[in-house]
Structures are given as C-alpha cells and as structure tokens.
C-alpha cells in the first residue's frame, strides 16, 4: 500500500482467466506482506497545506490551487489542458502522499507526457493513509482532529471548484498508484456520472480478501499511526465491501479500465532505491499482483471488459511512470480528446 515501488507494460489480459482457486493460494503472500509493511517505515506529516487563495505558478509550470473543503484548505496542483479542453484526469497518490506535493509531479514524467494533450491534469495533495475515502471519524490513535472526507472532496467539492475554471464535472478520468489505485476504481464505480475511465497501477483492488484487512491495518499504522477501524470499521463492516472494486465490479460495467501490477521481479529501475527498499517492494507487489489477477478473474466471469496487465517490475514509481504511458492513449480515447 506504500508508494515505494510499482510496474511496467505488456502482460496478461482479464480475458486470459486463470482458475480462481489458484489465486486463493496466494493468500500466503498476505501474511508475509503484513510483516514487510511493518518495516517499510517513513511517516510523513499529514496536515492540509495552507496557501494563498489564488493560483500560484510553480517552477515546473503547473498551477497550485487552494481548494476549500470540509477538511480545511486542500492544495491541488493543475496542468491545464493544452487547448482549453474541458476534460480532466485526476491522479491519486500512494499511501505516503506528502503534505506539500503530489508525487506524480515529481516521481514520474506525466506532466511532459500529457503536455500537448487537451486534458487538464489534476493532482490532489495530501491524504496520506486516507485511501481517498470518507472516514467514519478522525483516527483515534494519532490525534487527528478532522475526519478524512476525500471521496466527498474528489467528487463534490473539487469538481465544483474546477468548474469555475471551465473544467467539466462529468468528462473525467481517474487513475492512482498503490493506495490510489484501488481508490480510483472505487470512486469510478460509485460516481459513474463523473468518471469515464479508471486505472489502477499496483493497487490493492480486493481489500476484503481474507487477512488483507490486517495488511491495510499494518500499513496505515506504519504510515502515520492511523487506525483502520476509524476509516471503514472492523473487518466485515459494509464500508469494506463498498470500497472493494472486486466486490463492486458490476458497477464498473461499461467503463474503460486499465489495471496493472508488476510480477515482483526487480530490474534496473530498482537499483537507485537500495536493497532494503527493493525487498519490501517485491513483497508489496506480490500482493498487488494477486489482487490484480483476482480482479481480472472477477470481471471476466461477469463478462465485463477490462485490460489487466501483469508486467515486469516491483512496487516503485518508475514502473508507475511506465504504466501511465501505457494508459495514456486509453485515457484520451475514453475522454474523446487529443
């Protein structure tokens, strides 16, 4: 669930369905991953940023907006459509989402990739360990004062704010890496009027799978001492199923989707991160791979088209950069823009 490692391109489609019981054996991965997550480390402060109420232009050319919300002011980084188009692509961060920027803008080449496209890129800032969900209450284990209400922000408050800049409230796509991957599919499932495409890169798209709730619990505790029970309640609570794209697959029928995960095998892109991070990234990606396959089998059994790729790589940003490059033409086609 951390944003410390990801994927590439190519691979296995949902139509190439494997027997579900073969992936149930992958449950053993979960227990090992829980232990790995406990050692991934590196908490980041999660306060919403405070800034001016007018757009600021960054050194990299995108604008920084401050958007009012029920959680307080939220910074949103925006690269405007090349030719004034109304469509938008929302890009969701990983579990360690920093408080001062969205990692898509610093750890990938997505700004350049879409620079000539007639689609606005929207990068929400903050929300680490939030799963971009509406929580029941503030986390009771780390002094959080205001409950996360990220679904409300992303589907009500932010679209209304961007509409004042000419951005459509309906012609949008949403993608995410790691924590943001499952959230992207879940948001699209419950807000089909807003999103016309959804993509998950190394996302955990089946959180109700046995023991995976404990993996989420361990990851959120490690990343900011957040209490998962304050997010979705204990395992078995309806909020878990509501935020599980595999369970909610029927709601995704007819939506263009791209789900990608790595095979856990490290490559040259992992070298700069060091051996320790790479080992963690391999374990995390094994879990993401199992989830992607289960999701692929589920949508295939329902006759729902989706592209599901299992590619080379681990749970790291350079692989997610490759994933967004693969997804780009799908996104533009779904939005009908160039």
Hey, which residues are catalytic here?
A: 178, 285, 315
- Alpha helices, DSSP H only, in the chain? 20-24, 27-38, 103-107, 110-113, 150-152, 158-163, 179-190, 212-222, 228-232, 238-242, 274-301, 317-335
Length of the chain: 338
C-alpha 257/C-alpha 246 separation (Å) is 13
C-alpha 257/C-alpha 196 separation (Å) is 9
C-alpha 313/C-alpha 316 separation (Å) is 8
In angstroms, how far apart are the furthest CA atoms of the chain? 54
Between the alpha carbon of residue 293 and those of residues 39, 246, 257, 322, the distances in Å are: 26, 10, 14, 19
Beta bridge partners of 64: 56, 77
C-alpha 249/C-alpha 14 separation (Å) is 13
- Residue 219: closest CA among 43, 48, 6: 43
Q: Which DSSP category does 202 fall into?
A: S
Residue 227 CB contacts under 8 Å (≥ 6 apart), including other chains: 139, 140, 141, 142, 220, 221
């Amino acid at each position: 669930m951390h944003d410390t490692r990801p994927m590439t391109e190519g691979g296995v489609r949902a139509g190439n369905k494997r027997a579900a019981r073969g992936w149930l054996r992958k449950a053993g991965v979960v227990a090992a991953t829980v232990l790995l997550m406990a050692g991934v480390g590196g908490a980041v402060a999660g306060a919403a940023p405070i800034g001016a109420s007018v757009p600021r232009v960054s050194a990299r050319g995108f604008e920084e907006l401050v958007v009012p919300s029920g959680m307080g002011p939220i910074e949103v980084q925006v690269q405007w459509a090349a030719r004034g188009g109304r469509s938008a692509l929302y890009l969701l961060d990983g579990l360690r989402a920093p408080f001062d920027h969205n990692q898509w803008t610093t750890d990938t080449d997505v700004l350049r990739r879409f620079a000539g496209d007639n689609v606005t890129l929207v990068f929400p800032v903050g929300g680490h360990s939030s799963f971009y969900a509406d929580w029941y209450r503030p986390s009771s284990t780390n002094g959080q004062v205001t409950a996360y209400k990220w679904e409300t922000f992303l589907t009500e408050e932010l679209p209304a704010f961007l509409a004042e800049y000419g951005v459509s409230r309906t012609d949008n796509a949403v993608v995410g890496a790691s924590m943001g991957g499952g959230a992207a599919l879940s948001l699209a499932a419950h807000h089909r009027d807003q999103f016309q495409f959804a993509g998950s890169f190394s996302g955990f798209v089946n959180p109700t799978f046995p023991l995976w709730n404990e993996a989420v619990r361990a990851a959120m505790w490690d990343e900011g001492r957040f209490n998962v029970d304050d997010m979705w309640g204990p395992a078995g609570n309806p909020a878990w199923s509501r935020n599980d794209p595999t369970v909610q697959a029927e709601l995704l029928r007819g939506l263009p989707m791209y789900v990608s995960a790595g095979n856990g095998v490290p490559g040259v892109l992992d070298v700069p991160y060091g051996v320790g991070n790479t080992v963690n990234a391999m374990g995390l990606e094994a879990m993401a791979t199992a989830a992607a396959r289960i999701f692929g089998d589920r949508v295939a059994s329902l006759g729902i088209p989706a592209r599901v790729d299992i590619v080379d790589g681990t749970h790291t940003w350079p692989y997610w950069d490759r994933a967004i490059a693969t997804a780009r033409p799908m996104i533009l086609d779904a939005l009908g823009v160039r």
